[in-house]
Structure 1
Amino acid sequence: MDGEGFSRRKFMKITGSGIVAVTAGPQLTLASEQSLREAAKEHVARESGADMDDLEIVNEAMASWSTLKERYYHAKVYDVSEREIHGALLDGEKNPIDRDALHEREREAYRAKYGKLDRKLYERIADADDDETFEVGIWLEGIDYSAAREAVGFDLKPDTPELRRQLSDEYLDRIGRKTEAFAETIRGHEGVTVLATDRGSTFVEAEVTATALDAVEQYGEVRKIFHIDREIRLELEDTTKTHRTYWDNEGSFNASGYPVGQGETKPDSTYYVNIRGTNWTRDYSDPDNDTSGHSQAVMECMASWDDDHPGTGHNADVYHADEILVDFDNKMEWFYDNFVCAVNFSWGVGDRDRTMGKWDFRFGQQAYHRYLNMVKSAGNIGDSNDDGEPDKFDVTSPGLGFNTTTVGNTDNKNNSNWSDDEIAGGSAYESPYSRHADPTYDDFPHTKPEVSAVGKGNELPSGGNPSGTSVAAPGVTGMYAVLSSLCDGYGVYDVRFYPSVAKAIMMAAARNDAGSFDDKMGAGTISAWAAEDIIADETYLEDDFQESNTSQTYSADLSSGAEVRVALTWLTNVENSEFSDNKDAQSDLDLDLNVVDPDGTTVEGSWNYDRGYEFLKFTTSTSGTFEFEVDNFRWDAAETSRNIGLAWHAQ
């Protein structure tokens, strides 16, 4: 059966029943999964001239265009002989579908039904009075990225942190001028009050009446308009169990001089009465502010200087901004200006329905334009909707987004043995909706979280043993500071300015010795020791992948019997992504990863669809030079190149 050739890959089942509903003409029809697979290979053989015996389906899914209510069979077909990846998008009668034409029909259908409003905002204003007001985020079309790169000579100079900073400043300047110009235009409209303009993303916040919203929609530069949610839910629970600290787990890694950021809500100061404040943070609004409660617990796990209970990023400076969703862009600018290694967000916002929204996109664009490592707690199971029913294990926003490192919670059983670690009860892992992920079925790979950290009963220096993904996420944020410290220690470039590289190292260095995580905890639990190995041995790289290339190949010398973990990551620019309904969200690139042994045989691969990374692990059966081949399956980006990060760890 297709998929068995790569034993470690989780071959996706469509339904598990052998029969699937696929669009055929104006309606759905039932089709045999196996007949669709054969048709996909036949299509690729005709188009490419490949031998049918050399073709293997390495991934498959039902791809949805939600507004049209159409779904098609989509297969990734690998030519083993030529080491090439092909796609086949078929309807229920096994006819190939023109993807570009389908996108255009979906776009027209969405505009006809919702205009430029996000579906949720459209439903919210359906029964509103003309003068009823709403806080909205107006998402504008993107800037000219090629012109920005040309302005700083980015493609003509060596890629250095200093040059990246120049490019980021150029992005921010162009976005700022664009959003401010649009804000000035709509300020003259009756019923419109501009609240804020962004520089890190092409968003303008405004308060508008239902009538004025119609006028704002008409501007050509408006891409989509969202309702703004600012109500934050904390993702911290309480427990009496005490576990080993990050220090006990990983040793004496020090992040002094490498700052991290903390974006918080403003909880009641008595939320955790057993956690006292300290004075080692730099606060956005008050440099002498003494934080407490949820903020204090998170920051101690991230950067505590206490020698008995140190944080992961031991002794790092913490820049703390409260009420983060108010004046959001200026606070992100503050983090950027202070060169933080990563920013932590241990809370959730918005509906918990697995659909990406404005905060997921807006946070992701901060990573894209400011080269910030954005870290988010995955969320805990609970009753966040107050409907009397417990949530499923749905990851919370803004952790659904492509460019955010989302973190699950590991229970390490209060010992130093990694082999009995397991998922902490309540740690969220359900994937967001995307074009190829239909929550009707649960057979598709889990794309969130990317990694996990110990977050069950961490003993704090100020007292208390909080649990939850809220205290797991800062473990990863602190680890990003450790990565920068290690880079300087080994005399290599600082990966804080290369989010794709930093995330790839984090994932390749993660451990899953127990084998019990499956992919529900991402690549595994973070390990500073393994990260140090990667940086010391320089088993990582950054490169620009060119749109014109079908593949780019990188080499690694490996010994026989090594267990190897490989991560490929890239940043998504959602301004380029081809989706109308947020339920169909997908990265603007689809890159795949294959491992080829010294004999030229493909031994493993990761061929996912919608997310911004690929991850795999394999055991070498021979020594020699292996190749990591990155394939270009889909390119919707406006830019002609995109920076990628690749990291591998062998043990």
Structure 2
Amino acid sequence: MLYASKYAPLLFAELPRSAIQALERLESVGAIYAADQPIEPLLHSAARTARALGTWSHGITGQGATVAVVEAGAIDLNHDDLAGQNGERDRYYHPDQLHIGTEATWMWHATQVAGVIASTAPADGDRGIAPDAHLLSGNAAGILGLAYAWDAVGATEWAIDQGADVLNLSWGWSTGTPSRSMNLLDRYYDLIVREHWKTVTVAAGNCDGNCSVLSPGKAYNVITVGAIDDLDTADTAADWNDDVASVFSSYVDPLSPYGDRNKPEVVAVGQRVRSTSVYNDWRTSDGTSFAAPAAAGEAALMISRADWLKAWPETVKAVVIATARHDEIWADADRSARATEDKIGAGCIDATAADHTLTDGRLAGVTLYPDSLPHSFWFEAAEGRTIRVAIAWDSHPTSWWWLPWASDTLKADLDLAVYAPSGSQVAGSQSWDNSYEFVEFTAPATGWYRVEVQKFRWDAGNTHEYLGFAWHSD
């Protein structure tokens, strides 16, 4: 046996063909996967493009939030700009690496990801999004520096046991050829979000002849993050208006019953990202690997502002989507057209807008029951303002041993409608296969608006849904 999960009905083992065939005949075995491929990393202005500086000016810098970097390698926690992060309990060692010493396990990729989240460099330089967040180094790499699915699960469960609020996964994994189908790690992290209330940010993947979003970024309940190029300009509104969707950022959506799932949910800067590296050095790199930790840092800032969000990853996701910037991003370098939702989701993350949403109380987390729909939220808005509203809920990966764990479906299809003070509908979103909906509209009048969460489908036996809600005004 290689690893037995504590948090999911999941066991990794090396078995002969005859034993696998015998397991296939057992009713208690929901699915069998080949898991012999290692996970792969997905490769100065991150904080500015994510607009974190406004949040810092209000004293919110990530204090009280714990972010785990689950990687095929360890963070160099001795770096001067990861100061205060070098407690021994904050490091996870794969059993195969216990004997080789801390320094030999350091990896530039993990250290660079960590710096995007929590570097303490000067605010006018390369500071991380949440510089006072607490980091955990979940090194999943085993012998020869390779990390497999069971290694990632082991590092993840160590991080949960250490109190991680946010998990960042800047890597992709497949069972061979990249596929649009969900696999065991998508289902595993869906369970971690729904059953263990953790916010999980995942790199969408880097196109290499196949632009399919990689696992575990195909999971319903995680926040999958693509990349943009901010052209190293991020100080003014005009600077933000030249941002371009990265050509390498994966966006081909997972397969779904009605074909309308959309991944990634958001994007962040992923080109020319300068961050901490091993041996007290700095490194500049490209990749969705460095976009995902910007979203992890944004989540840490939100938790720092409102610690109840530690238990509401659905609300974190709704806020991230509701406050993202969309219209400023170009599809390509010739700037002939704006990027589409298919490529950049709801847009580029905006930590300051998210913080305003929290301070203004424009968010909620509610538990919905079959007889509690439709459910309404109310907000007041001024005529002419651009309004963004988002809701998010979860898929239901099976968590009981006697049910097929391969099942990971949406047990509810919820729709979103917004009504003006006059009572007329001004916006709506009704996808079939997403676990979130969002709308954007210009307020036609000053007054109170009603958001209605509608039940298109609610499966028999579904007892409840956790729903996150947020809205933002420009």
Same fold (TM over 0.5): yes
Aligned to 2:317: 503
Question: 1 or 2 for the larger relative contact order (CA 8 Å, sep ≥6)?
Answer: 2
Aligned to 1:316: 133
User: Which one-letter code corresponds to 1:250 in the other structure?
Assistant: A
How big is each residue's C-alpha offset from its partner over 1:269-320, in whole Å with a ceiling of 9 and x where there is no partner? 9xxxxx9996735211279557331111111111111123111111322101
Aligned to 1:358: 184
Q: State how 1:337-376 maps to structure 2 within 5 Å.
A: 337-350=161-174, 351-376=177-202
* In 1, Cα distance between equivalents of 2:397 and 2:313: 16
User: Which one-letter code corresponds to 1:506 in the other structure?
Assistant: V
Q: State how 1:79-98 maps to structure 2 within 5 Å.
A: none
Aligned to 1:235: 42
Contact 1:435 1:585 survives alignment (8 Å): no
102, 106, 116: which is aligned to 1:301?
116
* In 2, Cα distance between equivalents of 1:400 and 1:637: 25
- Cα RMSD over matched residues? 2.8
Aligned to 1:479: 298
* In 2, Cα distance between equivalents of 1:276 and 1:229: 37
User: Which one-letter code corresponds to 2:2 in the other structure?
Assistant: L
Aligned to 1:201: 8
* In 1, Cα distance between equivalents of 2:433 and 2:46: 36
State the shift of 1:540 in Å. Answer: 0.5
How big is each residue's C-alpha offset from its partner over 1:163-184, in whole Å with a ceiling of 9 and x where there is no partner? xxxxxxxxxxxxxxxxxxxxxx
State the shift of 1:246 in Å. Answer: 0.7
Q: State how 1:467-616 maps to structure 2 within 5 Å.
A: 467-487=286-306, 493-514=307-328, 516-519=338-341, 520-575=343-398, 586-616=409-439
* In 2, Cα distance between equivalents of 1:496 and 1:429: 28
User: Which one-letter code corresponds to 1:418 in the other structure?
Assistant: W
Aligned to 1:441: none
Identity across matched positions, percent: 28
How big is each residue's C-alpha offset from its partner over 1:14-62, in whole Å with a ceiling of 9 and x where there is no partner? xxxxxxxxxxxxxxxxxxxxxxxxxxxxxxxxxxxxxxxxxxxxxxxxx
Query: Structure 2 vs 1, CA of residues 529 and 277 (structure 1 numbering), >3 Å: closer, same or farther?
Result: closer
Query: Structure 2 vs 1, CA of residues 288 and 317 (structure 1 numbering), >3 Å: closer, same or farther?
Result: farther
SS of the residue corresponding to residue 504 of structure 1 reads helix
SS of the residue corresponding to residue 384 of structure 2 reads coil
Q: How does the TM-score come out when normalised to structure 1?
A: 0.61
* In 1, Cα distance between equivalents of 2:202 and 2:168: 6
* In 1, Cα distance between equivalents of 2:472 and 2:19: 55
* In 1, Cα distance between equivalents of 2:255 and 2:31: 18
User: Which one-letter code corresponds to 1:501 in the other structure?
Assistant: T
Query: Structure 2 vs 1, CA of residues 224 and 292 (structure 1 numbering), >3 Å: closer, same or farther?
Result: closer
* In 2, Cα distance between equivalents of 1:372 and 1:548: 27
* In 1, Cα distance between equivalents of 2:372 and 2:354: 30
State the shift of 1:607 in Å. Answer: 0.3
Query: Structure 2 vs 1, CA of residues 295 and 328 (structure 1 numbering), >3 Å: closer, same or farther?
Result: closer
2:270 equivalent to 1:460 = no
User: Which one-letter code corresponds to 1:291 in the other structure?
Assistant: W
Aligned to 2:253: 431
Query: Structure 2 vs 1, CA of residues 454 and 361 (structure 1 numbering), >3 Å: closer, same or farther?
Result: same
385, 406, 409: which is aligned to 2:227?
409
Query: Structure 2 vs 1, CA of residues 336 and 266 (structure 1 numbering), >3 Å: closer, same or farther?
Result: closer
How many pairs align?
425
State the shift of 1:232 in Å. Answer: 1.6
How big is each residue's C-alpha offset from its partner over 1:534-561, in whole Å with a ceiling of 9 and x where there is no partner? 1001101111111234411111111111
Q: How does the TM-score come out when normalised to structure 2?
A: 0.83
* In 2, Cα distance between equivalents of 1:365 and 1:349: 17
* In 2, Cα distance between equivalents of 1:601 and 1:581: 43
SS of the residue corresponding to residue 423 of structure 2 reads coil
Contact 1:276 1:293 survives alignment (8 Å): no
Q: Which moves more between the two structures, 446-455 or 251-260?
A: 251-260
Q: State how 1:78-117 maps to structure 2 within 5 Å.
A: none
2:52 equivalent to 1:250 = yes
Contact 1:356 1:585 survives alignment (8 Å): no
* In 2, Cα distance between equivalents of 1:327 and 1:421: 37
Structure 2 segments unaligned to the other structure (5+ residues):
141-146, 330-337
User: Which one-letter code corresponds to 1:423 in the other structure?
Assistant: A
How big is each residue's C-alpha offset from its partner over 1:205-256, in whole Å with a ceiling of 9 and x where there is no partner? 23332222233233332222222244122211xxxxxx53415743135113
* In 2, Cα distance between equivalents of 1:204 and 1:581: 11
* In 1, Cα distance between equivalents of 2:308 and 2:65: 11
2:21 equivalent to 1:214 = yes
Q: Determine which structure has more spread, i.e. the larger CA radius of gyration.
A: 1
State the shift of 1:635 in Å. Answer: 2.1
SS of the residue corresponding to residue 541 of structure 1 reads strand
Contact 2:391 2:469 survives alignment (8 Å): yes
* In 2, Cα distance between equivalents of 1:628 and 1:616: 11
User: Which one-letter code corresponds to 1:634 in the other structure?
Assistant: R
Contact 2:82 2:118 survives alignment (8 Å): no
Which of structure 1's runs of 4+ aligned residues deviate more than 6 A?
A: 275-279
State the shift of 1:329 in Å. Answer: 4.1
User: Which one-letter code corresponds to 2:17 in the other structure?
Assistant: A
SS of the residue corresponding to residue 353 of structure 2 reads helix
* In 1, Cα distance between equivalents of 2:273 and 2:155: 29
370, 381, 389: which is aligned to 2:207?
381
Contact 2:66 2:135 survives alignment (8 Å): yes
Contact 1:347 1:379 survives alignment (8 Å): yes
* In 1, Cα distance between equivalents of 2:437 and 2:394: 12
Query: Structure 2 vs 1, CA of residues 229 and 592 (structure 1 numbering), >3 Å: closer, same or farther?
Result: farther
Aligned to 2:92: 284
SS of the residue corresponding to residue 225 of structure 1 reads coil
